[in-house]
């Protein structure tokens, strides 16, 4: 199936998504197709690689794992709706950390990662700042970072006890960001991110 035969007004499930055997990157937002932007810029890739490296180094020999796009994160409506045909939201975050390894399978992650990092570009900033923010909050992602490569700052949110994202701070320059899911045991030095 190619993008010309897909109905962008129709609601699809993850089972449908798995049948689309082409090179087009897509996400599902409550069953609706959202096309991904073209290949990220070199700057985006540099920032992503720097972040993956820092997290990977910290996480080696620990319970948690880090993954990067393209990797599917499936958000079932509840833990009982785990069948592919019952999953209507599938995102591909730039980076995500999972500490409950039972959520991982060969196709990615099923359920909320502990930490999600999105690196915005002018073409996808609304999707990351508003649409994905709402999805990650609704499904219980514990910590969400929005990285702005152009202005070189990172906005950090953590999920509060009421299930709402609380603004923690905006970091830039030579700041070090404490990773909240690790109680600050890992701090990301932004001078090593925006190189």
Q: What is the pLDDT of residue 93?
A: 96
CATH code given to domain 40-70+90-192? 3.90.1570.10
For 17-65, the DSSP string reads: HTT--SS--EEEETTEEEEPPSS--HHHHHHHHHHHHHHHHHHTTSS-E
Q: What is the pLDDT of residue 172?
A: 98
Query: Are the beta carbons of 170 and 187 closer than 8 angstroms?
Result: no
Query: What phi and psi, each to the nearest 5 degrees, are found at residue 49?
Result: -60, -45
Using the Cα atoms of residue 139, residue 171, residue 95 and residue 178 in order, give the sign of their dihedral: negative
195 residues of the chain, pLDDT tens digit each: 444 478 888 999 999 999 988 878 888 999 988 887 776 889 999 999 999 999 999 999 999 999 999 999 999 987 666 788 889 999 999 999 999 999 999 999 999 999 999 999 877 677 778 899 999 999 999 999 999 999 999 999 999 999 999 999 999 999 999 999 999 999 999 999 999
Would you kindly state where each structural domain of the chain is located, as residue ranges?
Answer: 40-70+90-192
Which residue(s) pair with 26 in the sheet?
35
Q: What is the pLDDT of residue 2?
A: 44
Q: State in Å, rounded, how far the first CA of the chain is from the last one.
A: 41
């Amino acid at each position: 199936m190619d993008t010309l035969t897909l109905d962008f007004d129709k609601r699809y499930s993850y089972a449908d998504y798995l049948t689309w055997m082409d090179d087009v990157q897509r996400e599902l937002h409550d069953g609706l197709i959202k096309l991904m932007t073209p290949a990220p810029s070199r700057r985006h890739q540099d920032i992503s690689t720097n972040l993956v490296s820092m997290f990977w180094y910290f996480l080696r020999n620990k319970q948690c794992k880090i993954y990067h796009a393209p990797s599917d994160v499936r958000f079932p409506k509840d833990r009982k709706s785990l069948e592919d045909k019952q999953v209507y939201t599938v995102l591909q975050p730039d980076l995500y950390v999972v500490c409950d390894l039972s959520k991982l399978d060969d196709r990615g992650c099923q359920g909320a990662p502990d930490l999600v990092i999105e690196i915005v570009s002018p073409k996808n900033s609304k999707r990351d700042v508003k649409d994905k923010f709402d999805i990650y909050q609704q499904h219980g992602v514990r910590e969400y970072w929005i990285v702005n490569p152009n202005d070189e700052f990172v906005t950090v949110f953590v999920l509060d006890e009421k299930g709402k994202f609380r603004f923690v701070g905006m970091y830039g320059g030579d700041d070090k960001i404490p990773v909240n899911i690790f109680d600050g045991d890992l701090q990301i030095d932004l001078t090593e991110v925006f190189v």
